[in-house]
Structure 1
Amino acid sequence: MLAVGFEEDVELILENLPPKRQSMLFSATMPSWVKKLSRKYLDNPLNIDLVGNQDEKLAEGIKLYAISTTATSKRTILSDLITVYAKGGKTIVFTQTKRDADEVSLALTSIIASEALHGDISQHQRERTLNGFRQGKFTVLVATDVAARGLDIPNVDLIIHYELPNDPETFVHRSGRTGRAGKEGTAILMFTSSQRRTVRSLERDVGCKFEFVSPPVVEDVLESSAEQVVATLNGVHPESVEFFTPTAQRLIEEKGTDALAAALAQLSGFSRPPSSRSLINHEQGWVTLQLTRDSAFSRGFMSARSVMGFLSDVYPTAADEIGKIHIIADDRGAVFDLPEEIAKELLNKQIPPGNTISKITKLPALQDDGPSSDNYGRFSSRDRFSRGGGSRFSRGGARGGARGGGSMDRRGFRSSRSWGSDDEDGFSSSRGGRSFRSGNNRGSRFSTSSDDDWLIGGSRSSRSSSRDSRSFGGACFNCGKSGHRASECPN
């Protein structure tokens, strides 16, 4: 708090304290600027280090998960993460900007009770918001890093890093809001494919290990929602139960257990069946299928071209409507997206011997699980995070970086904008246009460059067949217009 603008207030308080007193400064991390502050405000301070040289900088009870998302699917996935991992408990979602905090909170409100907390909120409203969160009047707090500094909120079950933090210290402070006083907690880091190496660097610098998981599937959300509804039923007053007992008995006689199931569905917010969701880019209305081939029947390695050819023979409609294709790491299979109804039709088709098509609930290891990152090197070895404080993170670096968009602070970390809002090539992150057709092969709508086959997003992606060509026939991921990529978008 001293580093982000409260120093004058603290000095005013200290001036009015008795000269003879004991003063203590607590900090989850001990960089050089904290040591400097301790020398300024404390008299011959005794350093008590409860961490020492341990590699792990977080409490033992915190489970760490990392989930790869796309910019367009983040908010949809966010509500599912809260439902499945918080299980009705308190959640703090950390954003980089005040605008994001407002927008994310507003988007969640229609599903889960939430409030925003940032620097533009008045002190009176801030206190009301925090008291409401502590008392359980709402369960999700969407906050910026600065606004959440110094908060002591007990029993926080889940922390979600909606955007990557600016530096390792911020990650430690964020995650440390849960798992306090020996209790267990969960912290989830959301990242895009271009940030994967940055996540690995964060693991090294903090001394932690993420479990990389897929976003919750529809079945997970339904199951968790039902469990939470059942838990709330225990809080219904017995006299209220007696009032509804005759109606309940009549419904059971008429419909049996279906009556109770319908009540659970309504209370869970699923009066209508939820639509399926892609495991690859998390878009609703799509299903992810896996094609595997027995080694005895396979000839050569699997490629996007072979998947398209296979589908053209089995069910041409599926080949026309296919979404993204990714090759499994062992080269003997592939995963791909199809619209929900077409996927159902394909699963009912007769499949040639030696091949298997199945609906999956979790992605296998893919060949493109480790793409390069423009952000690699942000946690360089010389700036590596340690409690010894060999590096410096100043107020000027934090604020200047966040506002400047592409500036570097004194430690070499980029601004928050460059961490969380990297433009992704429209070809690799959206289904783009459908104008590109390769030759006369009706089943292949992508480039004939075999090296890129596994990257192609099926019929809705496009790329020039020449590596040196700069032409782009798909739609921009940013503005939706054709003729340029998102990284070249004038908007």
Structure 2
Amino acid sequence: MLAVGFEEDVEVILETLPPKRQSMLFSATMPAWVNKLARKYLDAPLTIDLVGDQDEKLAEGIKLYAIPTTASSKRTILNDLVTVYAKGGKTIVFTQTKRDADEVSMALSNSIASEALHGDISQHQRERTLNGFRMGKFTVLVATDVAARGLDIPNVDLVIHYELPNDPETFVHRSGRTGRAGKEGSAILMFTSSQRRTVRSLERDVGCQFEFISPPAIEDVLESSAQQVVSTLGGVHPESIEFFIPTAQKLIEDKGVASLAAALAQLSGFSQPPSSRSLISHEQGWTTIQMTRDSAYSRGYMSARSVTGFLSDVYPSAADEVGKIYLIADEKVQGAVFDLPEDIAKELLNKQIPPGNTISKITKLPALQDDRPPSDNYGKFTSRDRGFRGGSGGYKGSRGRGGSRDSDFEDGFQRSRSYRTDGGRPRNSRTRGDDWLISDRRSSRSPSFRNRDSGFGGACFNCGRSGHRASDCPDKRDY
């Protein structure tokens, strides 16, 4: 209360109290300014530190998660995180700005009851919002750090850091909204790829450890949605149920259990089949595919360029539509992951694959190679989102991807000009994963690229050299 602008009000209260009294001040953290305030308002104070020298500064009942995301996919993922991890309970979503609090709250309101809380809201409206949240009239409170301290909000099941806090202390206060009074809770930190080192610094400074997770799978979202609908059915008044029994009996006689399943789907908001979602960019309508190759069946190492060559030989339509390609960061595995449109991915998975290669749909991303410059500033966001959206300065598939910006393309184009295009090693390559920039992905937009009789711009997945397909490889093996 003293830290967020109520110091004068506290002083007025203290002046009306009897001179002989016992005063106690409580704080989740003990920075220097707290000790200064204690000396100002207390007489020879006794400090009781319940944390002491422990590295962990959070309550034991709080489970911490961290999820990589992009600016364009945050709101989609946010909805699913609330559905799966809050399980119908109370959630506080913390943003950096008042504008974001309003916009995120409005976006969530389309599917989940939510309200915003920030400094521009009048005191009267704040009290109404907090009371409504406490009483369960809505389940998601989207707030700035005004709600991080000093508010009595019991039974919060989930805290989501929609944006990184400015410092470790704020992270502790935010996360402390859940797991109170010995209860358990969860806190999820959303971060972009360029903020990964900041997350590691946060672990060190707070003395905590995150469990890194992927966005909830569609199956998990469907299951959680159905469970929440079932739990709300218990609140229907028995007299209301009586009116619908004849219709329910007739539906069961005509369609059996399918009629109940249809009702659950409608109430869960999934009257239409959900589309797949990319694990890389989190965009709907895309499927993430993993390709691995046995080193005994090929020479050299795998690159994104050789992946394109493989797709061109097995299923040219997939090569035309492939999205971002990332190499797996495991020296024991020659593999890569990439996005394909949902219908193209289904066709590819049904194709016959040459021996020594595997193609599969995955539900969780493996560790991926990353050559981006590190960032280690709390709450500092770069002017350009360097998340998964732009790859490593590379190109997107020929179909293009939603949410991209012209600056992303220009950045990738300018970087690619520093590489050779004659099939040799890249001049300025920092990692082996960079050699895919040798391939001019712009050619995928031209009709000649789609013609298999034209010159082949990819690389052979058999020998790794450019200029020919595996079917024409001079080193082709007898499969």
Question: TM-score over 0.5 for the alignment?
Answer: yes
What displacement does 1:288 show? 0.2
* 1:14 partner letter: L
Partner of 2:433: 454
Moved more, 37-46 or 452-461: 452-461
Matches within 5 A, 1:1-16: 1-16=1-16
Alpha-carbon distance change, 461 to 295 in structure 1, aligned in 2, over 3 angstroms? closer
Partner of 1:243: 243
1:427–1:461 Cα contact (<8 Å) kept: no
Partner of 1:341: 343
Does 2:45 align with 1:48? no
Partner of 1:399: none
Aligned to 2:296, the other structure's residue is in SS state coil
Alpha-carbon distance change, 16 to 159 in structure 1, aligned in 2, over 3 angstroms? same
1:161–1:188 Cα contact (<8 Å) kept: yes
Counterparts of 1:427 and 1:264 in 2: how far apart (Å)? 39
Does 2:165 align with 1:165? yes
1:139-194: per-residue Cα shift (whole Å, max 9, x none)? 00000102443111000000000010000000000000000111100000000000
What displacement does 1:332 show? 1.4
Alpha-carbon distance change, 155 to 147 in structure 1, aligned in 2, over 3 angstroms? closer
1:329-366: per-residue Cα shift (whole Å, max 9, x none)? 22411110001111111111111122111111111122
Partner of 2:202: 202
Unaligned runs of 5+ in 2: 399-408, 444-479
- Correspondent of 2:352 among 350, 353, 358: 350
What displacement does 1:297 show? 2.3
Aligned to 1:366, the other structure's residue is in SS state coil
1:306-340: per-residue Cα shift (whole Å, max 9, x none)? 11111000001100110011111224111100011
* 2:344 partner letter: I
* 1:93 partner letter: V
* 1:373 partner letter: P
Matches within 5 A, 1:64-463: 64-330=64-330, 331-368=333-370, 371-374=372-375, 376=376, 378=377, 416=379, 418-419=380-381, 423-424=385-386, 427-428=390-391, 449=426, 454=433
Counterparts of 2:441 and 2:281 in 1: how far apart (Å)? 13
Counterparts of 2:424 and 2:348 in 1: how far apart (Å)? 25
What displacement does 1:371 show? 4.5
1:69–1:190 Cα contact (<8 Å) kept: yes
Counterparts of 1:348 and 1:126 in 2: how far apart (Å)? 56
Kindly report the root-mean-square deviation, in angstroms, between the aligned alpha carbons of the 2 structures: 2.6
Counterparts of 1:257 and 1:453 in 2: how far apart (Å)? 55
Counterparts of 1:144 and 1:261 in 2: how far apart (Å)? 39
* 1:424 partner letter: R
1:48-104: per-residue Cα shift (whole Å, max 9, x none)? 111110011001110000000011111111111100100110000000110110111
What displacement does 1:245 show? 2.0
Aligned length: 416
What displacement does 1:22 show? 1.2
Alpha-carbon distance change, 295 to 453 in structure 1, aligned in 2, over 3 angstroms? closer
1:361-416: per-residue Cα shift (whole Å, max 9, x none)? 11112222x84423x2x4xxxxxxxxxxxxxxxxxxxxxxxxxxxxxxxxxxx6x4
Alpha-carbon distance change, 335 to 237 in structure 1, aligned in 2, over 3 angstroms? same
Aligned to 1:172, the other structure's residue is in SS state helix
Aligned to 1:287, the other structure's residue is in SS state strand
2:328–2:336 Cα contact (<8 Å) kept: yes
Identity of aligned residues (%): 79
Alpha-carbon distance change, 173 to 421 in structure 1, aligned in 2, over 3 angstroms? farther
Counterparts of 1:245 and 1:209 in 2: how far apart (Å)? 51
What displacement does 1:302 show? 1.6
What displacement does 1:239 show? 3.0
What displacement does 1:200 show? 0.2
What displacement does 1:423 show? 3.9
* 2:123 partner letter: Q
2:148–2:173 Cα contact (<8 Å) kept: no
Moved more, 37-46 or 249-258: 249-258
Moved more, 41-50 or 293-302: 293-302
Alpha-carbon distance change, 451 to 305 in structure 1, aligned in 2, over 3 angstroms? farther
* 1:344 partner letter: K
Alpha-carbon distance change, 169 to 113 in structure 1, aligned in 2, over 3 angstroms? same
**TM-score normalized with structure 1 length:** 0.80
Counterparts of 1:422 and 1:462 in 2: how far apart (Å)? 22
What displacement does 1:452 show? 6.2
Alpha-carbon distance change, 117 to 457 in structure 1, aligned in 2, over 3 angstroms? farther
1:432–1:460 Cα contact (<8 Å) kept: no
Partner of 1:388: none
Alpha-carbon distance change, 245 to 453 in structure 1, aligned in 2, over 3 angstroms? farther
Aligned to 1:179, the other structure's residue is in SS state coil
What displacement does 1:32 show? 0.9
2:322–2:397 Cα contact (<8 Å) kept: no
2:324–2:338 Cα contact (<8 Å) kept: yes
Counterparts of 2:324 and 2:293 in 1: how far apart (Å)? 19
1:324–1:457 Cα contact (<8 Å) kept: no
Counterparts of 1:346 and 1:326 in 2: how far apart (Å)? 18
Counterparts of 1:213 and 1:335 in 2: how far apart (Å)? 17
Counterparts of 1:65 and 1:109 in 2: how far apart (Å)? 24
Counterparts of 2:204 and 2:38 in 1: how far apart (Å)? 28
Partner of 1:31: 31
1:293–1:332 Cα contact (<8 Å) kept: yes
* 2:386 partner letter: E
Partner of 2:456: none
Counterparts of 1:158 and 1:88 in 2: how far apart (Å)? 10
Aligned to 1:126, the other structure's residue is in SS state helix
Counterparts of 2:265 and 2:299 in 1: how far apart (Å)? 48
What displacement does 1:45 show? 0.6
* 1:428 partner letter: G
* 1:349 partner letter: K
Counterparts of 2:312 and 2:161 in 1: how far apart (Å)? 42
Alpha-carbon distance change, 70 to 156 in structure 1, aligned in 2, over 3 angstroms? same
